[in-house]
Structure 1
Amino acid sequence: MLNLKTLVFGALIAAASAGAMARPMGHPVSATPQVDARQARQEARIEAAFHEGRLSRREFRHLRREQADIRHFEARAKADGVVTRDERRTLDEMLDRASRNIRRAAA
């Protein structure tokens, strides 16, 4: 299973990195590389737990939906070109909650 984890994690990091490289260089305020990297790690945890049989299909779908909600909020926050301190705080809180949900579901 370690090879599957490594493969999934590597693919998610590569996808997140490709998105980071496509951003305009002149807008560091709207860039959220820490959020992207953290979300990639969470998605890898979800995939690994599902493939190891520690998550049911329902739990898997719920956790994936939570990740999609975070991506949508991040996109809305970036829409005006600036991610404010409050938006970053909200993103961090959403990621914290998602991480706890992953830990509890995969236990």
Structure 2
Amino acid sequence: MKAKLLAATILFMAIGISNSDAQTWQYAKNERSRIKGGVKSGELTRNETKNLVNDQKEIRQDVKAAKADGRVTKCERKNIRHDQRQASYNIYRKKHNCRDKN
């Protein structure tokens, strides 16, 4: 009985971790498509694109560092979400700042 309970607990924990991980990667995928769209439409200059891509790279590194010990703490998750929101705001701001590639 204890073995079944332990197995069920581990399974639910793994599902919870993978769900938050999937949300993080889906968020990153959406941001990449927003950046690509800005480049394609000419709304982003080369330097703006470079800065935005570097922001995404730093977020990926933060996620990997947070997962390195096998557990993403509440504080780490909060910092990652904050970085993601800030990067999203930067994408919006740089796409709408009246500078274009043309």
Q: Normalising by structure 1, what TM-score?
A: 0.72
Moved over 4 A (4+): none
Alignment-derived partner of residue 66 in structure 1: 55
State the structure with bigger RCO (CA 8 A, min sep 6), 1 or 2.
2
Q: Report how many residues are paired.
A: 83
CA separation in 1, counterparts of 2:41 and 2:24?
A: 26
Higher Rg: 2
The CA distance in 2 between the partners of 1:27 and 1:65, in whole Å, is 30
Return the offset for 1:51: 1.1
Q: CA RMSD in A?
A: 1.5
Unaligned runs of 5+ in 2: 1-10, 97-102
* Bigger fraction of residues in helix: 2
Runs of 5+ in structure 1 lacking a partner? Answer: 1-24
Partner Cα separation in structure 2 for residue 30 and residue 79 of structure 1: 13
Q: Which residue of 2 aligns with 1:75?
A: 64
1:24-67 residue CA offsets vs partner (Å, 9 max, x unmatched)? x7734543111111111011100110111000000000000000
2:27 matches 1:38: yes
Give the structure-2-normalised TM-score. Answer: 0.76
